[in-house]
């Protein structure tokens, strides 16, 4: 029942949240000084043509009517057409989502794979030299501007050393699409050259993206370990003569990881925000770079589509985190 409650509770808020998001972006798109009809009609259109486009796209109706119509379209899965790619926005986003997913998954694996062990070490050896030096690293990782770091990486590893490609997702022809994740598809195809190309392209963007997330994971895990070590149950187990290794591996680690999982929503937020910038610098063909380009070109339908998708992904991630947490620590479940 707990599970069902969590799911229903989250889903009940999904619709109002998305409606609210839609309204914010819609209002934004209507205060722009740029006339969307003129933009859609092109530079050389006559006033009559612009007027025709305006009517065709419904920009002449009152705002509430336009909004309701847009909501109705979205509910049917129609996000409109991008003014620049001339493709349905759903197709644009769907085509680019796997690239962002691939980058984000690699980054989250990196962040967890590096962050959790380091956080545990810091927590177990509090105030040791390793704890202090890692603290400096994590604080710095959160303070560096990712676009600047991305450029420094490009300069050093691509331009100077020539070890890794400068930008993009793959060299030459991509593998046949099965999952949409190029690395997986390349593995399925089994072509070593393509696998190598896909892997070498993802290294720099993934590391840039993972750094602030890894710093956050280290801090959460460290605090989780400290909280667990200070808890009454660990004091009891120590007093009862349990081997320290057993206590650490079985009890402390579990609590520490649970502390980090609770914050997965936040960590994912850091990654998604980072992806917008990192994808732009590395020309990674994901939805983040698409969003930035759409915003800069005043392609508002595309921006609204992106915002809505991101909001929905966010709500679903938080739902997943709630469920995970209920599985790890049933006490906290509502």
Distance between CA 30 and CA 276 in Å, rounded?
24
CB of 180 to other proteins, least distance (A): 22
231 binds other proteins (CB under 8 A): no
Give backbone dihedrals phi and psi of 81, rounded to 5 degrees, phi first: -110, 140
Residue closer to other proteins (CB basis): 234 or 272? 272
Residue closer to other proteins (CB basis): 237 or 310? 310
Residue closer to other proteins (CB basis): 90 or 166? 166
Is 53 within 8 Å of 265 (Cβ atoms)? Answer: no
DSSP class of residue 331 equals G
Residue closer to other proteins (CB basis): 143 or 239? 143
Please report, as residue ranges, which positions from 64 to 93 form the binding site for other proteins (by CB under 8 A): none
163 binds other proteins (CB under 8 A): no
Residue closer to other proteins (CB basis): 182 or 271? 271
314 binds other proteins (CB under 8 A): yes
Residue closer to other proteins (CB basis): 21 or 112? 21
CB of 85 to other proteins, least distance (A): 18
Distance between CA 217 and CA 268 in Å, rounded?
11
Is 325 within 8 Å of 261 (Cβ atoms)? Answer: yes
Residue closer to other proteins (CB basis): 14 or 195? 14
Return the range that interacts with other proteins (CB under 8 A); candidates 47-55, 102-110, 140-148, 239-247: 140-148
137 binds other proteins (CB under 8 A): no
215 binds other proteins (CB under 8 A): yes
**Phi-psi category of residue 42: left, alpha or beta, with phi > 0 → left and psi -120 to 50 → alpha:** left
332 binds other proteins (CB under 8 A): no
161 binds other proteins (CB under 8 A): no
- Residue in 258, 267, 265, 272 with CA at minimum distance from that of residue 316: 265
Is 311 within 8 Å of 21 (Cβ atoms)? Answer: yes
Residue from 17, 49, 200, 231 in contact with other proteins (CB under 8 A):
17
**Rg of the Cα trace of the chain?**
24
Q: Measure the N-to-C terminal CA separation of the chain; round to a whole number of Å.
A: 10
301 binds other proteins (CB under 8 A): no
Give the other-Cβ count within 10 Å of 313's Cβ.
17
CB of 113 to other proteins, least distance (A): 20
216 binds other proteins (CB under 8 A): yes
DSSP 23-75: HHHHHHHHH-SS-HHHHHH-TT--HHHHHHHHHHHTTTS-HHHHHHHHHHHHH
235 binds other proteins (CB under 8 A): no
Distance between CA 46 and CA 38 in Å, rounded?
9
Mask of contacts with other proteins, 247-286, x by CB under 8 A?
Answer: ----------------x--x--xx-xx--xx--x------
97 binds other proteins (CB under 8 A): no
List Cβ neighbours of 147 (8 Å cut-off, separation of 6 or more).
277, 278, 280, 281
Distance between CA 121 and CA 131 in Å, rounded?
8
Residue closer to other proteins (CB basis): 84 or 314? 314
142 burial via Cβ count (<10 Å: 0-12, 13-18, 19+): middle
The binding site for other proteins (CB under 8 A) comprises 13, 16-17, 20-21, 24-25, 28-29, 31-33, 135, 138-140, 142-145, 147-148, 151-152, 154-155, 159-160, 212, 215-216, 219-220, 222-223, 263, 266, 269-270, 272-273, 276-277, 280, 291-292, 295-296, 298, 303, 306-307, 310-311, 314-315
């Amino acid at each position: 029942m707990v599970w069902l409650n969590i799911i229903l509770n989250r889903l009940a808020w999904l619709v109002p949240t998305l409606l609210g998001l839609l309204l914010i972006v819609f209002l934004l798109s209507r205060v722009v000084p740029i006339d969307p009809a003129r933009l859609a009609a092109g530079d050389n259109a006559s006033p009559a043509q612009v007027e025709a486009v305006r009517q065709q796209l419904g920009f002449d109706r009152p705002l509430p009517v336009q909004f309701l119509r847009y909501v109705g379209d979205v509910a049917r899965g129609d996000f409109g057409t991008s003014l620049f790619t001339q493709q349905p926005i759903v197709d644009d986003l769907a085509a680019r989502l796997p690239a962002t997913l691939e980058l984000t998954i690699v980054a989250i694996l990196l962040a967890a794979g590096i962050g959790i062990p380091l956080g545990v070490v810091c927590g177990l050896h509090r105030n040791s030299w390793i704890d202090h030096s890692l603290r400096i690293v994590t604080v710095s990782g959160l303070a560096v501007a990712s676009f600047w770091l991305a450029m420094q990486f490009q300069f050093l590893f691509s331009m100077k050393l020539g070890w890794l490609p400068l930008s993009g997702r793959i060299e030459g022809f991509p593998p046949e699409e099965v999952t949409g994740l190029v690395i997986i598809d390349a593995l399925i195809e089994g072509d070593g050259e393509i696998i190598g190309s896909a892997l070498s392209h993802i290294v720099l963007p993934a590391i840039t993206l993972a750094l602030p997330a890894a710093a956050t994971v280290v801090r959460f895990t460290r605090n989780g370990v400290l909280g667990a070590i200070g808890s009454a149950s660990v004091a009891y187990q120590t007093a009862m003569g349990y081997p320290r290794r057993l206590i650490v591996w079985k009890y402390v680690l579990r609590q520490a990881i649970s502390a980090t999982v609770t914050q997965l929503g936040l960590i994912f937020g850091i990654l998604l925000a980072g992806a917008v910038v990192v994808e732009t610098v590395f020309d990674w063909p994901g939805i983040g770079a698409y969003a930035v380009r759409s915003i800069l070109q005043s392609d508002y339908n595309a921006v609204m589509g992106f915002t809505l998708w991101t909001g929905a992904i966010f709500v679903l991630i938080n739902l997943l985190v709630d469920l995970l947490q209920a599985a790890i620590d049933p006490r906290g479940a509502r």
